[in-house]
Every structure is written in C-alpha cells, then in structure tokens.
Amino acid sequence: MAEENPASGPPAGKDPPASPGTESVLRGPRVSTRARNRKNTVIAVAIVVLVVGGVFLWRYLGSYESTDDAQVDVHLSPVSARISGYVIAVNVGDNQWVQKGDVLVEIDPKDYEVAVEQAQANLANAEATAESLNITVPITSVSTSSQLSFSTSDVSNASAGISAADAQLTSAHAQLQQAEANDVKAQDDLVRYKALVDKREVSEQIYDQALAAAKASTASVAAGHANEAAAEQAVKQAHDRLAQAEANRRSAETAPQQVSSSQARARAAVADVQQKRALLEQAQLNLSYTKIVAPVTGEVNKTVVVGLNVQPGQQLLTVVPLDEVWITANFKETQLKHMRVGQKADISVDSNGRSFKGHVDSIAGATGPLFSLLPPENATGNYVKIVQRIPVKIVLEPEENRDHQLRPGMNVVPDVYLR
C-alpha cells in the first residue's frame, strides 16, 4: 500500500478537510459585513423617512395659520323708545327667542290717540279751506276781468256825459242870455206901455199884455238861471262820475294782482293742508311707536319693566341675532403674508370642543390698537418693536350655527388654510 505524502495536495476533486479554527476565522468577517450593511440600510431608510416626514410636516404646518386670540362677534341690536310714556306691557322674558317684528313692549297709547284725532280734525279744516280758496281763484279772475271791462266802459260813458253836460251848460247859458235879452225888451215895453196907458193913448188891455209879457220874461230869466245852475251841477256830476269811473278802472286794472293774491292764498291753503297732513302722519307714527317691535330675530336681554316711565332714546332691550355671528381673529402681522379673502377655515370652540366651518370674509384696514381710544404713539426714544395683530373677519358657512351654540364673546381657535 502506497504511503501518502503530506506535502502533496488532497486528491483531485475533494476539498481538504477544514479544521474548526479555520471555519470560525472565515465566517466572522462575512457576518459582520452583512450586519453593517443592514444597519446602514436601516439608517438610510430612517433618514429618508425623517426627511420625507419633515417635508410633509413642514408643508402641513405651513398650509394654515392659527391663533388663540379670537372670539365670536355679532352686531348687538339695541331697542330703545322713540316716544315718552308709561310702559303698560312687556311681552318677553330674559333670553327669550323672538322673531323680527314681534311686539316686545307696549306704551300707553291714549295721549297719542287723542293727538291723532286732533290732527285729523285740523287736516279736514285745512282741506275745506283750501277747496274754498281754489274755487275762489277762477271766480276772482272772471270778476276782476268783468270789473275792468265795466270800469273802462264807465270811463267812456263818464267822458261822454261830461261832453253832454258841457253842451247842456252852453245851451242853458245861451237860453239865459236870450231870456235876459227878452226880459230887457219886455221891461222896456212895459215902461213904454205904462206911459201910454197913463196918457190914454193905448188901451189897458195892451198894457196888461205888456205886463204879462214882462212877468213872463222875468220868469224866463229866473228859469234860465236855474237851468244854467242845473247844467253846471250836471257838469260837476259828470266830472265826479268820470273821476269815480277812472278810480274804478284803476282798481280793476289790479286784476292780475288780485288773481295772483287769490292764487297765493290758495297755494298757502294747499301748503297748510300738506303741513296738517304731515302733522297727522307724525301723530300716527307716534301712535305706532307705542308698540316697540324686535328689529331682528334673536335672543332678548331686557331691562324694562311694567310701569316704567320711558323717554325718547332710552334703551329698553337688546336683541342678540345669533344667526348673524362671525369670528374676529386677531392674527399677527407676520401670519398674513399668504392669507387671502375666501380661504377656508376651521373654528374650534373652547366651550364644547366642536369645530365649525367658515371662510375669510375680510381683513381689517388697520391694526387693532389704532381703533382704541388712545392709540399707541411710537415716536419715542425708547421704541421697542412689537408684533402687531390685525383683526380678520371669518364668517361661518350656511347652517353651521343652526343650533345657536356660538355665542358672542366666546373664545375660539380658528385655523385658516392658506393652500
């Protein structure tokens, strides 16, 4: 049997047997490399997860702005008296829900009912006066026009009467002169016949005729004087009639002014009617003010009681319109860089933990301190920069507050989503 040579290698096709010490040396480095690779992979994955998570967290935190300086707001509706009087009824209780137009308080209406009746009577009287004066205007117009025509005709007639009177006076004067001439002749004849009768040269009958003719001529002279005096009086009367006619015409020529005056009185009467109607409307308004109604729908907070003597402007109740609440969020000025009108918002309520949906309605035109009674003045030597807050109005989506859980003054936390 041939002896094996230790220096020679193992038989072909067979691995040399490994000793235990050699196997442990070969396996150790291989295991540590795999563990190290696995650890590096885990670390790399963890880093990637942290980076991705950080990016998503950064994007999430940068996607909205939030503040705890926010509260629920509403326009309170004060209800005050518009007239004075005694309260005879209060129809609501504290915190009662009322609808717009509901009668809340009633004031004693008796005095105002009397005032309405008096205003109605005054209006009726003014309307009757105005109607009468409106009827008078056309009558005055026609009357003055007729007077002007008549007075013009009277002036013409009076002028013609003067001419006729002057003619009659001239005729009377001529007749007087003729009578006087005839009287002179008759008296001379009487004297001559008297001498002849005394001498018995003519008969007494002729003398009697001469005497009668002398008396007749004397009477004619007296009649002539009377006629002349009457003609002179007629001339004077004709002049007087002319003066009267001219005065009447001057008066009639004021017809436009008389018509204008009548129209002015009619307009004044119409204005008085309007004034009386306005006073009636005011009295009716005052009567309606005896019933104080709710201006809006909401909850009532009252301070009025029956028997209270109220004065105009005195506040009696306050109506809180819970359907019209909004959120006033005072964001820091550094939070408004990407905030815009219309962005969605979630509102968390401190009192009950509920969340409401809304959106940005508007951003105030100035910071909150500028609306205070004494705004801050920064023009000082020790100025310290302070981040200011600007009010942002957030309105609720429809039907979000249908159960009226949001009450004015409650603290809320709004989150405004910028993306």
Mean pLDDT (10-residue bins), the chain, 419 residues? 41 48 50 77 83 66 82 95 95 94 96 96 91 70 64 71 75 77 75 71 70 78 79 78 72 64 79 93 96 95 93 94 94 91 93 91 88 70 80 94 92 90
Give the Å distances, CA to CA, from 375 to 235, 368, 371: 100, 9, 7
Is the CA virtual torsion 104, 110, 115, 118 positive or negative?
positive
At residue 321, the pLDDT reads: 95
| Whether the Cβ atoms of residue 412 and residue 350 lie closer than 8 Å to each other | yes
At residue 151, the pLDDT reads: 67
3-class SS of residue 309: strand
All structural domains of the chain: 67-75+322-417 (2.40.30.170), 79-109+289-317 (2.40.50.100), 112-283 (1.10.287)
pTM passes above 0.75: no
Amino acid code (one letter) for 174 = A
At residue 25, the pLDDT reads: 45
At residue 26, the pLDDT reads: 46
At residue 29, the pLDDT reads: 58
Joined tokens for residue 201? 């040269």
At residue 7, the pLDDT reads: 42
Greatest Cα pair distance in the chain: 259
At residue 192, the pLDDT reads: 73
One DSSP character per residue, 182-229 reads HHHHHHHHHHHHHHHHHTTSS-HHHHHHHHHHHHHHHHHHHHHHHHHH
Joined tokens for residue 256? 């436009």
At residue 175, the pLDDT reads: 77
